Structure 1
Amino acid sequence: MAFQLAKRDLRKRMRGVFEGLSSAAIVQQSVVATNKFLSLAEYQNAKSIAVYLSMPTGELSTRSIVQDALQSGKCVYIPYIHKPDKVSVMDMLALESMAEFESLQPDKWGIPSLQPTQIPGRRNCFEASGLDLIVMPGMAFDEGFRRLGHGKGYYDHFLTRYGKWSEKMPFLVALSLHEQLLAEEIPVVEHDWVIDAIVVGDGRYLVRRT
């Protein structure tokens, strides 16, 4: 319970940080982080990637990453949240083109999202050859590669499912505004996944050595 309260308080604090950020600052950091991300060998060598689609505020934009990946001929998968058994589940489904990306409708958080009518026949990463890399969102990160999500557990649950499906996990890269990378340790519990690398909007790149 103490961990949950600590996470709740940190999320509240981070929302205050995001409210103080200008859109121009986020755009500038997005350009820097994107350029760094696109230079990573793990990205350049990846054949299939999953990418979060960014909210209008409070996180780095992934638009240029999606565009580059599609132009490079990579298989691109994006989150789709649905309720197959009355419990919300996140799958990673194929994005076919930049034109399709442009046509996506925003959900209640302003995130471009697939609609239920667009799902039949669409490739799921579990039906293909899996993922080489996942671009992870989050509200905050620390230098121990811990991540504070938005509290729904979508990515942690997805990664647990993926680990049961395949012994080889994708390379997990978080995109972080420099205001999101904290000096303090983020409270985590056993089922919270750590990430492999963090690309920061001020140009820094942190990678976890295993």
Structure 2
Amino acid sequence: MAALRAAKKALRSEIKLKVAALDPEEKRRQSLLVSHKLFKHPKYVSSQRIAVFLSMEDEVCTQEIIKDMFRCGKSCFIPRYESSSSHMDMLKMDSLQDMETLPLTSWNIRQPAGKDESREEALSAGGLDLMLMPGLGFDLFGRRLGRGKGFYDTYLERCSRHPKGKPYTIGLAFREQLCTEIPVDDHDVLLDEVLYEAQ
């Protein structure tokens, strides 16, 4: 277990350096490419209820994806993380304007306030069709390296108990985040697919 933790930690540092070396223009270019790949993806086209993350500096930018979801009339759910635990909810957003008014967290990302009970949580109603996943690293077997908090693995475990079942999961990656193999344990949920700029 300790060896696995150490391997993950080392890999996180290595990938962070690679992504930090990308210039903003290159990040923007790859983000747009990945977004346009997603727009044509049959799972995205057919999904109505979609969970998406609000991207940080070292993640594929999801801004265009969120705009497209509202444009296409899809239901958009974003994460609210509880920093004291590995609990996360996916809460429904009404519009881009709604999203822009959300408070900023210590991670400098917007999320609904902890006391905001007015929003629909995805699993309290119709579940999710598709979940777009962030990560620090990915391999082509669907293994994902997160930030070590377990938010997404715990949430997908909850999804699997929902009548609708687990949503289809797609990781969004920069080419520099692809690894030959990511070390995982039994708690790590595999992704259905990883979208990135192919060579």
Which residue does the alignment assign to 1:112? 110
Are residues 1:2 and 2:34 paired?
A: no
Q: What TM-score comes out, normalization by structure 1 length?
A: 0.89
Does structure 2 retain, via aligned residues, the 8 Å contact 1:50–1:92?
Answer: yes
The secondary structure found in structure 1 opposite 2:189 is coil
Does structure 2 retain, via aligned residues, the 8 Å contact 1:36–1:203?
Answer: no
Does structure 2 retain, via aligned residues, the 8 Å contact 1:6–1:187?
Answer: yes
Aligned-pair CA distance for 1:121? 1.7
Which residue does the alignment assign to 2:184? 188
Aligned counterparts of 2:119 and 2:30: Cα–Cα separation in 1: 33
Aligned-pair CA distance for 1:162? 1.2
**Structure 2: which 5+ residue stretches go unaligned?**
none
| Structure 2 residue corresponding to 1:170, chosen from 148, 167, 170 | 167
Aligned-pair CA distance for 1:203? 4.5
Aligned counterparts of 2:73 and 2:154: Cα–Cα separation in 1: 28
Greater fraction strand: 1
Which residue identity lines up with residue 195 of structure 2 in the other structure?
V
Aligned counterparts of 1:87 and 1:24: Cα–Cα separation in 2: 35
Aligned-pair CA distance for 1:81? 1.4
Change (3 A) 1:114 1:167: closer
Map residues 79-158 of structure 1 onto 2, 5 A cutoff: 79-82=79-82, 87-117=85-115, 119-158=116-155
Map residues 5-84 of structure 1 onto 2, 5 A cutoff: 5-55=6-56, 57-82=57-82
Q: Deviations over 1:146-186 (max 9, x none)?
A: 0000110000000111112236221100000000011x210
**Structure 1: which 5+ residue stretches go unaligned?**
205-210
Which residue identity lines up with residue 100 of structure 1 in the other structure?
D
Does structure 1 retain, via aligned residues, the 8 Å contact 2:51–2:132?
Answer: yes
Aligned counterparts of 1:76 and 1:168: Cα–Cα separation in 2: 18
Does structure 2 retain, via aligned residues, the 8 Å contact 1:32–1:203?
Answer: no
Aligned counterparts of 1:113 and 1:129: Cα–Cα separation in 2: 21
Q: Give the 4+ runs in structure 1 shifted more than 6 A.
A: none
Q: What TM-score comes out, normalization by structure 2 length?
A: 0.94
Aligned-pair CA distance for 1:50? 0.2
Aligned counterparts of 2:41 and 2:98: Cα–Cα separation in 1: 26
Does structure 1 retain, via aligned residues, the 8 Å contact 2:38–2:44?
Answer: yes
Identity, in percent, stands at: 34
